[in-house]
């Protein structure tokens, strides 16, 4: 199972990023093998539709679960249609958020928890 976590940098101990569509990186972890990779988010420079473009990037990578703080409705729709579960409530580092996920401490989201364009201009 592949889990993607919104991150500010390209490593497992990076701080998480609150934004989904405009986070600089995703750390994609294979929970079965423990292997991970840093994935640069190509949607960050998009003038519009960053959430949808980012969601499609993760769909194309075969991600099963996404861990976020905030996610907008358009991105959430793309992930939901692809059968990808989205959990909210990440904080701290990527590794801390993965631990919280494994321990069942994150909330499974059934809908977006941020408005459209909620990540623009925030860091």
d(CA 98, CA 121): 27
pTM for the predicted model, two decimal places: 0.90
Q: pLDDT value at position 75?
A: 94
d(CA 61, CA 93): 22
Residue 43 has pLDDT above 90, yes or no: no
Report residue 97 CA to chain centroid gap. Answer: 11
Q: pLDDT > 90: what percent of the chain?
A: 84
Q: pLDDT value at position 116?
A: 63
Place of tokens 């991105």: 75
Give the lowest-confidence range in 15-24, 44-53, 81-90: 44-53
Nearest residue to 16 (alpha-carbon basis) of 114, 98, 81, 76: 98
Residue 119 has pLDDT above 90, yes or no: no
Q: Which residues of 59-73 are buried (b: 16+ CB within 10 A; e: fewer)?
A: eeeebebbbbbbbbe
Residue 31 has pLDDT above 90, yes or no: yes
Band of pLDDT at residue 120, cut at 50, 70 and 90:
very low
pLDDT in tens, 56-104: 999 999 999 999 999 999 999 999 999 999 999 999 999 999 999 999 9
């Amino acid at each position: 199972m592949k889990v993607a976590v919104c991150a500010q940098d390209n490593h497992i101990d990076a701080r998480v990023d609150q934004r989904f569509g405009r986070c600089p990186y995703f750390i994609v972890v294979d929970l079965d093998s423990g292997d991970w990779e840093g994935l640069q988010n190509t949607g960050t420079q998009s003038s519009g539709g960053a959430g949808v473009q980012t969601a499609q990037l993760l769909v194309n990578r075969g991600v099963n679960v996404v861990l976020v703080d905030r996610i907008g409705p358009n991105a959430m729709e793309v992930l939901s249609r692809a059968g990808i579960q989205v959990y909210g409530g990440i904080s701290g580092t990527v590794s801390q958020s993965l631990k919280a996920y494994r321990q069942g401490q994150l909330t499974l989201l059934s809908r977006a928890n941020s408005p459209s364009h909620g990540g623009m201009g925030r860091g």
